[in-house]
Structure 1
């Protein structure tokens, strides 16, 4: 819990008694005292099941952002719940059948539903939902909705963010001396490590990946600068490259569900190394981009209001961070959002500039859509055209005028967010470590949603409010850096190595789900570098994962038949 003191205050225990109680004991006391509404007074990560000892009635809850997993299945009138997918499958004994719709979503490369898993009969409880009995089954009901705050915070924004984030980070440091911090050298992880070091009694242990000075994405200078300023105890993990895809088997067995995380095979090592250092929890900056927001919705707002000089200045900063063609970004925003008529000469000029810059790009585009990789029969079965049709967020002039707040909210509510927490939780718990996410303290999220767009993108710098909040806490080289480490070349090299000796026969066993002809076509294009688009490279990575997942499915079925799934 992020707010033990507040939860204890609502119960009947004295401060001394509350200090001796576990989080679960405090939560139970709060549930008894306040009924189902207790959940509104809890800030933290949890998956809970309460059973009434006299009536047998049960109710279950998943935390507001889905940080802790919650899986369940109903079979023969029995409900099985678990925070571990393997345990849910083992205890329930249900048939291990693939969920065709979820597999299609995976091939397409997105998370569409909050409740599906790769297994047909196992569901997720969505974030901010409770599960309660309903007849012979159960019904999930939403207990909380993330919304844009009615009040906009305009004064002292950096100071408010620093104080709120400091409180959230400090609450993640229990038990003292057993909590470390991931430190990548980027803004998010460095901010949290700096705040944790400030709040920690003993020197903070940090865990980092280093790649060698010959790698463009090596962050050692930033990591060293942070550790020196924080007075932390560094642990560096030397990485020579991403593990080959031939080694996916153990990772698939650990995860069991499908995952959209190409870097996981490498990044999960941080948990086992943290455990070897004696740590039981690590502070993780995951989700900082989404919680703070880069503020790029402000570009739409500036274009809509025809503040082209400000748009020019802010777009240059955004283009630099993401290595995008500046003129494409600037001109396309004017063309699409300024409200000019189709034949307006300035609009037509902007469209030509954007097209010209796109043609000059060194990236060879992929002419097909990811949906083409889904088997035609499966496409028809799930209504793929409608399921994957774009859903524009900004539809009216009013939407354009508050584009940043709407895009900020959508990013936080996306199904992929909760799914990413589950992926990280499975890898961390396998190593005996608990990840903690101060950015997803409810108080931090609500505060960041209340900031105006100019607090997020300002003077060409994204996440401006966090940078200002970290003055005096971070090294200036990190606080003001405008770039991010990019691992696209590393993923591309792994894909080329894996697929160089494959042919259409590799995709044939997946024929019920994958269009083998389309998959082989993109494989050939990528191998000869006719296509270098990251979307195509990631699509091939997903198909490799799916192939190994089906091999794992066969093994899990055999283990289940022997009662040895766990």
Structure 2
């Protein structure tokens, strides 16, 4: 989707924004004596998009001043008299790409496909994509040769004629000085109080005039919605409407979530009685519904396209009510919980007795074996590729999905293609991103990409009128949790201890004390039962030449059959889902290119 575009008429830059998205407030254009900025998304605060865009233009207009990237979900192009700046926020929710050749940029857009029309497909990208579901957002490669991604937190400087001058990573400040009404809440212990304030600030930044919140009945989404309700109640200067968005299951194991959901809705509406609850019946929704559309229409292959039907149903309801922002509880699991990779730090620094003691506590609290805990949080981060190969050898036992983890080559990816286009190098790069030299710190960077895979939000923003936003992935929240010592966050058998303490005065008792939430496995199993045969037929009938070059199609079909039978785990299913999405994306691209081919008249 193209929200903004920069190109050149001769040596003169032309900067434009999508009119419909500008009317919705999703794209903001500001000008001053120094230049012009077009910002997709929001800087500083959703409500003050114009002021945030103007501040961005002014701050980066001062040469010689190393400006920090402000908080927000945005991609921006700033055109000054003597230079052009391209940038994205560190969380990288909104895409931005440029087409470059010979050191000169010829176009910039939020759409890789628009820039890559007619370009050769980049095979190295597909190896990078297939290493795991975090690969895309932090890799410069795109599906199109000559089209590059601006990375999260990066500032690219061009001359006024488009010559590349440099690419510099910038970082947001660790804490924002934004103060909000009601921030001084009840007294908590230090860690809980800090998290409460950071999360309240993050929610406040994301609130619009009509704010929707996903509510699932869990601790995370309920916390976000309660803070939004509290801010609406306390802030006389920020009136607004609150929509509570939830999927209702009337049958199956997910129907057991309904009592928690009802209690969450009741607690939120005690703060804002006028809040609008939207309980959407989703019993007829299954994963992989309309997979051709969800996986094929995106700018890039979308690894989580299989889950788009459920979220699309909910987002359509929020769009009908005119919501201008939609917040989720996404990201709380890795961010607001104790960091198990702290065990790796203890082992790395020689504190083996302390590491063993804490590993036993982790094992007891999680009802796991000590060996499993040490393997997951000490051995695998140290030797990720070797650990995966060993696991695959032990667990495969004749299956395609058995033992398949995050990085190892799936058996349906042809070894010749993998060798020729850098699959091993991509796996090494991905494993280093996920674990890094300090895995306990890399966890937060990786969580940003795995916890909120929302290309669906971006692709549908024009029709929905909003972007998804995730308060738990706010830089201030991440910085707060990163600073906390392990002893403040880990209590055996009780997840998200600091978050529960921080929200103890707001969360209803039933939700405050719950430790287990029913996953969406039923939706996935139903989708494979319903669409498995169709997915196999799709793979076998696909005609794009790259599909046969990349995949052993029959082995991929066998993986689908195994997943239908429940063989494998979430890691192996993610790898299969990514591959299926790529098949559909390539096939859709092939049909689109054939439609656009010129027809030569006969004699």
Aligned equivalent of 1:291:
335
RCO greater where, 1 or 2, for CA within 8 Å and sep 6 or more?
A: 1
What's the CA shift for 1:66? 1.1
TM-superposed CA distance for 1:167, in Å, is 1.9
**8 Å Cα contact 2:202-2:471 kept in structure 1:** yes
Query: CA separation in 1, counterparts of 2:57 and 2:118?
Result: 34
- The corresponding residue for 2:59 is 30
Cα distance in 2 between the residues matched to 1:180 and 1:425: 16
The Cα of 1:468 is off from its aligned counterpart by 0.8
Match of 2:364 among 316, 341, 345: 316
Indicate whether 1:380 and 2:380 are aligned.
Answer: no
1:191 corresponds to: 223
Distance 1:207 1:395 in 2: 35
Q: Deviations over 1:99-153 (max 9, x none)?
A: 22222333443444522223333322101100112784464321228999xxxxx
TM-score (norm 1): 0.76
Which of 539, 543, 556 aligns to 2:579? It is 543
Q: Distance in 2 between matches of 1:34 and 1:213?
A: 61
Residue in 2 aligned with 1:347?
A: none
The one of 481, 487, 491 aligned to 2:520: 487
Among 291, 308, 325, the residue aligned to 1:264: 308
Q: Check whether the contact 1:492–1:537 (CA below 8 A) recurs between aligned residues.
A: no
Q: Distance in 2 between matches of 1:71 and 1:456?
A: 39
Alpha carbons of 1:240 and 1:284: their partners in 2 closer, same or farther (altered >3 Å)?
same
> Aligned match of 1:160 in 179, 194, 212?
194
Q: 543-552 or 28-37: which moved more?
A: 28-37
CA pair 259-139 structure 1, distance change in 2 beyond 3 A: farther
Matched residue, 2:550: 513
Mapped pair 1:98 → 2:121: yes
1:412 deviates by 1.9
Is 1:249 matched up with 2:292? yes
Check conservation: 2:131, 2:426, Cα contact below 8 A.
Answer: no
**Structure 1 residues 27 and 560: alpha-carbon distance in aligned structure 2, compared to 1, 3 A threshold:** farther
Deviation string for 1:357-378 (max 9, x for gaps)?
Answer: x99xxx9961665432212321
8 A contact 2:364–2:492 mirrored in 1: no
Alpha-carbon contact 1:254-1:430 (below 8 Å) kept: no
SS in 2 for 1:219: helix
Structure 1 CA distance for aligned equivalents of residues 464 and 521 of structure 2: 27
1:98 deviation in Å?
2.8
- 1: CA distance, partners of 2:524 / 2:483: 37
Deviation at 1:284, TM superposition (A): 2.0
In the alignment, is the contact (CA less than 8 A) between 2:331 and 2:451 conserved in 1?
no
- Say if 1:204 and 1:233, in contact at 8 Å, map to a contact too: yes
Contact 2:251–2:283 (CA<8 Å) still a contact in 1?
Answer: no
Say which SS state the counterpart of residue 106 (structure 2) adopts: strand
Do the aligned residues in 2 keep the contact of 1:162 with 1:470 (CA within 8 Å)? yes
Instruction: Kindly state the Cα deviation for residue 306 of structure 1 after the two structures are TM-superposed.
Output: 4.5
The residue that corresponds to 1:204 in the other structure is: 242
Q: Is the 8 A contact 2:286 2:526 kept in 1?
A: no
- Asked if 1:331 corresponds to 2:371, the answer is yes
- TM-score w.r.t. structure 2 length? 0.72
User: Are 1:65 and 2:91 an aligned pair?
Assistant: yes
Looking at structure 2, the residues matched to 74 and 338 of structure 1 have their Cα atoms a distance apart, in angstroms, of 42
Q: Which residue of 2 aligns with 1:277?
A: 321
- Greater share of strand residues, 1 or 2? 2
Could you tell me how far apart the structure 2 residues matched to 1:248 and 1:338 are?
38
Q: State how far apart, in whole Å, the 2-side matches of 1:547 and 1:517 are.
A: 13
Aligned residues: 497
Report the secondary structure of 1:500's partner residue: helix
The counterpart of 2:471, out of the listed 438, 446, 449, is 438
CA distance in 2, matches of 1:272, 1:35: 46
In the TM superposition, what is the alpha-carbon distance from 1:203 to its structure 2 partner?
5.8
Q: Distance in 1 between matches of 2:331 and 2:158?
A: 33
Deviation at 1:49, TM superposition (A): 1.1
State the shift of 1:561 in Å.
Answer: 6.1
- Aligned 8 A contact 1:371 1:384 in 2: no
State the alpha-carbon separation in 2 of the partners of residues 392 and 49 from structure 1: 30
Contact 2:337 2:489 in 1 (8 A): yes
Aligned partner (choices 68, 71, 90) of residue 43 of structure 1 = 71
Deviations 1:397-421 (A, max 9, x none): xx8xxx7xx4343342468359825
Q: What does residue 601 of structure 2 align with? A: none
Distance 1:553 1:166 in 2: 43
Secondary structure of the corresponding residue to residue 115 of structure 1: coil
Superposition deviation, residue 24 in structure 1: 1.9
8 Å CA contact 2:403–2:568 kept in 1: the answer is: no
Q: How does 1:447-462 map to 2 (within 5 A)?
A: 447-462=480-495
Query: Which residue of 138, 145, 153 corresponds with 1:128?
Result: 153
1:194 CA displacement: 0.6
Alignment root-mean-square deviation, CA: 3.9
Match of 2:445 in 1: 412
Is 488-497 or 157-166 further displaced after alignment? 488-497
Q: Which residue of 2 aligns with 1:151?
A: none
Question: Helix, strand or coil for the counterpart of 1:449?
Answer: helix
**5+ residue gaps, structure 1:** 2-17, 149-153, 320-325, 340-354
Structure with more helix by fraction:
1
| Counterparts of 1:21 and 1:387, CA distance in 2 | 40
- 8 Å CA contact retained: 1:93, 1:560: no
Q: Against the structure 1 CA distance between its residues 556 and 147, is the aligned structure 2 distance closer, same or farther, given a 3 Å change threshold?
A: farther
Unaligned runs of 5+ in 2: 1-24, 26-46, 176-187, 234-239, 270-274, 380-390, 599-603
Offset of 1:422 from its aligned partner?
Answer: 4.2
In structure 2, C-alpha distance between the alignment counterparts of 1:448 and 1:427, rounded to whole Å:
32
